[in-house]
Amino acid sequence: MGLINIGGKTIQPGTRDIVTVPVTKDLGVEINIKAHILAGKFDGPTFLFLSMLHGEEWFSMLILRELIRRIDLNELKGNIIAIPVANVSAFNTGTRCVMDNSDEPDANRSFGGEYLWLTNQITRVIEEEFMSKSDYMIDYHVGTWGCTMADIGYGSDYDDPKISEISRGMALAYQFPVIHEMKLNKGTHSKRTSMGRAALHYGIPAIVPEIGGLGFGEDIEKGWIEDNIRGIMGNLKYLGMLEGEPEYCDKYLFVGDYWRVSPKNGGYLEPVIGLDRQFTKVEKGELLARIIDPETFEVLEELRSPGEGVIFYTCRSYMVRPGGWAYGVASLENNSSYWGSI
Ligand SMILES: [Zn+2]
């Protein structure tokens, strides 16, 4: 609420600025975080947008660029903090993790850390300089080159049920038809992620939109940017930062249990099912893709759906590593995942 001060700089209502907050000095390079601060003309909450805690997920930088272009400060109530490159160290090497010899190389598993590893220092600055001054948060995690994610994640089991409830409201107001209810102690979502830390330590409702990826062509990728802009505007309306009401989807796929269908072997992934089948049903055993040996051209393995489900995240042909991103299938078994309206 009120005037926003970041990095010792006060941004006046109705103006915008880019603030650089230093983190540390690595070998020969300065590590810092650049944040766009958009101070609305009217008083209201502060909304933090993080992108690229994982250094190779650069599609989300395009979302924030478009957001910054489109926001009219004369209509905005409150402030937006948008950080296109949260983890400049991993971005520099084009990798998910920071390439040091630490035992905490993944920034989105390093929040609340006690050491001085690069990820600990980066996330500490994000917490102390940005999270502590924010009321809501979006942290983007999108597909890397060759795969596309397709869901909105929110935490449903925080100590304070109100935070879970607002987070769910934000997920629905993102106006994207796949909602992924995440639990702190299940899967990859934990107290050490941005979302867990924001909710548990700072009391900030948060979501993780995962829409889009790279390598699918500009028309498709521009469509994903529009999906995300619609979602952000829906959130700003839901949270009272813009006039109007979000438009909700007629139907959502509520993802409960799901299968990550990933290759055991590295190789050339040749899809049988691709983007055109996204959000459609697959049967148990249905062939999704083949993994081709890049040297002998033999079929190394077939990727098949482990059960009856709905494809949500998917991929194009590309060279995968063992366990790499390929397909997400929401399980329809025992109604664990289901289509419903709100
Ligand atoms: Zn990520």
| Ligand 1 midpoint to CA 300 (Å) | 28
Q: Which helix (H) or strand (E) holds 25?
A: strand 16-26
pLDDT in tens, 80-109: 999 999 999 999 999 999 999 999 999 999
| Ligand 1 midpoint to CA 16 (Å) | 27
Tell whether pTM > 0.85.
yes
| Ligand 1 midpoint to CA 74 (Å) | 33
> What local confidence, expressed as pLDDT, does residue 186 receive?
74
| Ligand 1 midpoint to CA 142 (Å) | 6
> What local confidence, expressed as pLDDT, does residue 189 receive?
75
| Ligand 1 midpoint to CA 272 (Å) | 26
Do residues 263 and 326 make contact, with C-beta atoms less than 8 angstroms apart? yes
Enter the tokens of residue 298: 């033999």
| Ligand 1 midpoint to CA 212 (Å) | 12
Average pLDDT, the chain: 96
| Ligand 1 midpoint to CA 11 (Å) | 30
> What local confidence, expressed as pLDDT, does residue 184 receive?
81
Residue 98: C-alpha distances to residues 47, 103, 104, 252, 284 (Å): 26, 10, 9, 36, 38
> What local confidence, expressed as pLDDT, does residue 1 receive?
54
Enter the tokens of residue 36: 């766009």
| Ligand 1 midpoint to CA 296 (Å) | 33
| Ligand 1 midpoint to CA 230 (Å) | 21
Tokens 């035992």 identify what position?
103
| Ligand 1 midpoint to CA 48 (Å) | 17
| Ligand 1 midpoint to CA 107 (Å) | 9
| Ligand 1 midpoint to CA 104 (Å) | 15
The Cα–Cα gap between 165 and 16 comes to 31
The Cα–Cα gap between 161 and 151 comes to 22
Cα distance between the two ends of the chain:
31
Helix, strand or coil, per DSSP, at residue 79: strand
The Cα–Cα gap between 57 and 144 comes to 5
| Ligand 1 midpoint to CA 110 (Å) | 13
Tokens 């805690």 identify what position?
53
| Ligand 1 midpoint to CA 54 (Å) | 5
pLDDT < 50 positions in the chain: none
Residue 296: C-alpha distances to residues 80, 234, 291, 300, 303 (Å): 52, 50, 12, 10, 19
List of domains in the chain: 4-252 (3.40.630.10), 258-333 (2.40.50.100)
pLDDT in tens, 217-243: 999 999 999 999 999 999 999 999 999
String of DSSP letters for 216-274: S-HHHHHHHHHHHHHHHHHHHHHTTSSSS-PPPPS-EEEE-SEEEE--SS-EEEEESS-
Residues 6+ apart with CB under 8 A from 321: 266
Phi, psi of 299 (to 5 degrees): -80, 115
| Ligand 1 midpoint to CA 13 (Å) | 32
| Ligand 1 midpoint to CA 183 (Å) | 17
* Strand 16-26 to 338-340 pairing: unpaired
| Ligand 1 midpoint to CA 88 (Å) | 14
